[in-house]
A and B are shown apart, each in its own frame.
Chain A
Amino acid sequence: MPKVTFIEHNGTAHTVEAANGESLMRAAVDNNVPGIDGDCGGECACATCHVYVEADWWEKVGGRTETEETMLSFAAATKDNSRLCCQIMMSDALDGIVVHTPDGQH
């Protein structure tokens, strides 16, 4: 299975597997990765799965969806490489992707 690495604000890295087609949010929650809440269950309605995508992967993850864009504009500490990871679906092309979690989701 493809792997994704989440790096916490404090530097701790968590590498977990995610099935193709599964969102990175789901993979984080299922594996109890700290720093990703996913309170709305993947509906792109809460902005509690905010991550920063590492530069090498930014092109590969594709663009933000329109709803995601709006939701992110209300999230705290957004940057140019911010995404809501419930909207990033795992694929072989993303095997090895690295994302960072913000200081807090609320």
Chain B
Amino acid sequence: MTSVVVVGAGHAAIQLAASLRQGRFDGPITLIADEAGLPYQRPPLSKAFLAGHMDEPALALRPANFYAAQNVTVVENDPASAIDRAGHAVVTASGARIGYGHLVLATGAANRALPVPGADLPGVVGLRSLAEARGMKAILGDLKRVVVIGAGFIGLEFAAVAAERGIAVTLIEAAPRPLMRGVSAVMSDYLAAAHRGWGTRLLTGTGVSAIIGTTRAEGVELSTGEIVPADLVLVAIGVVPNTGLAAAAGLEVGNGIVVDSLLATADPAISAMGDCAAFPMEGQGRIRLESVQNASDQARCLADRLLGKPAAYAKLPWFWSDQGALKLQIAGLSGGHDRTILRGDPASGAFSVFCYQGERLLAVESLNRAPDHMAARRFLAGAAAVTPEQAADPMFDLRTAN
């Protein structure tokens, strides 16, 4: 293989470039970015960066000199607009033609748009890019009332930061509880109570019918008819994978760019990874995950294949979310669990939820209990096993499970 071109310069792309160089790949590596500036980490955007605990330079995934030292070219601010599969080249918005030996699509995902009248008014924002986070941070000090639409991870994390700043937060969720598909009912209920405790007005089972305002957003009309006034409306109702480029090139897309267990598309010269990729996972069918772990581990897996050591992708999914002083860590995928075992007392502010399907452990959600999370990753990776009885026993040392 002669050269590697990556569309996107996010978490997955940077890890791929780093791993290829660590593996002694010496051909050209080019990352095509649709933003200007150094590639950055997204998780702090809704946490430490917004809260003012982390400054912009600290967001960089790698320092500026990394790119020269590792001989990685970043084409800034020039999105890929087409793939010429027959000619093995990517065409960018500026008209540049960049030839590839192997092409990797790491295009991530985009904010899902809110399909109601007024959603395009100024003052209705998303939180995914550094530009959006910068804009949010600049006005945060002036905000008195915000409405957050969607109690997913980003909506909850933003709500926690805003409430801590003394802003009146209304958090609207269409489902009966926050993080409906992401976490167990026990964890969801705990988080809902925590946010309410911080002063946030959390409305579940509630829809949004319109954003009110003439020249900018002034409020949100709920499905109940109530109008909640707002200086700013954050829409955080999930993301859609960026599949347009792949689809236009005739590659199969569904909920993501379709790849096999090696992260390859049907075109042997094109792979996809990270938030944009729909990949097969044992027991799950074809899934798409949005996490740093998934982006980093898929990048390492793909780098190995490009370096001549192909192996099916089969890493344990794990995730974290910081909300105020609450550090949530999740190992595994809890979908389909039929019972939960509590380890530790939620009233103490530190506990874990072990999600089982029968006797099979599917996932562990830990709140302010990093050691449980570490143990869970061993269990879920198959290195050891823990029965529901052991998990429930506070005297049982998880390290002794085998």
Contact = CB atoms under 8 A, between A and B. Distances in A.
Nearest to B383: A76
Nearest to B18: A32
A39 B370 CA distance: 14
A34 B15 CA distance: 12
A46 to B, nearest CB: 8
Interface residues of B, number: 24
A71 interface: yes
Contacts of B18: 32
B296 A74 contact: no
Interface in A50-97: 67, 70-71, 73-75
Given A45-B329, A71-B371, A71-B374, A40 B320 contact: yes
Contacts of B66: 30-32
B62 interface: yes
Contact of B370 (A29, A31, A32, A71): A71
Given A39-B292, A39-B296, A30 B371 contact: no
A30 B374 contact: no
A98 interface: no
Contacts, number: 43
A30 B61 CA distance: 8
Contacts of B21: 32
Given A32-B21, A39-B296, A74 B62 contact: no
Nearest to A75: B374
A40 B371 CA distance: 14
- Chain A, interface size category, equals 10 to 19
Contacts of A34: 22
A41 B41 CA distance: 9
Nearest to A70: B371
B69 interface: yes
Contact of A45 (B320, B375, B399): B320
B223 interface: no
B154 to A, nearest CB: 17
Interface in B34-76: 41, 43, 62-63, 66, 69-70
B371 A31 contact: no
B201 to A, nearest CB: 30
A40 B370 CA distance: 12
A30 B378 contact: no
B62 A30 contact: yes
A82 B293 CA distance: 24
Given A29-B62, A45-B329, A74 B375 contact: yes
A47 interface: yes
Contacts of A29: 62
Contacts of B373: 45
B69 A74 contact: no
A32 B70 contact: yes
B370 A70 contact: yes
Contacts of B22: 32, 34
Looking at A32, A37, A39, A47, the one whose CB has the most chain B CB atoms below 10 A away is A32
Given A31-B69, A74-B377, 4 more contacts: A31-B66, A39-B293, A70-B371, A73-B371
Nearest 8 Cβ contacts at the A-B interface: A74-B374, A34-B22, A70-B371, A30-B63, A32-B18, A45-B370, A32-B70, A32-B21
Interface of A: 29-32, 34, 37, 39-41, 44-45, 47, 67, 70-71, 73-75
7 contacts: A39-B292, A39-B296, A44-B370, A45-B320, A71-B371, A74-B377, A75-B374
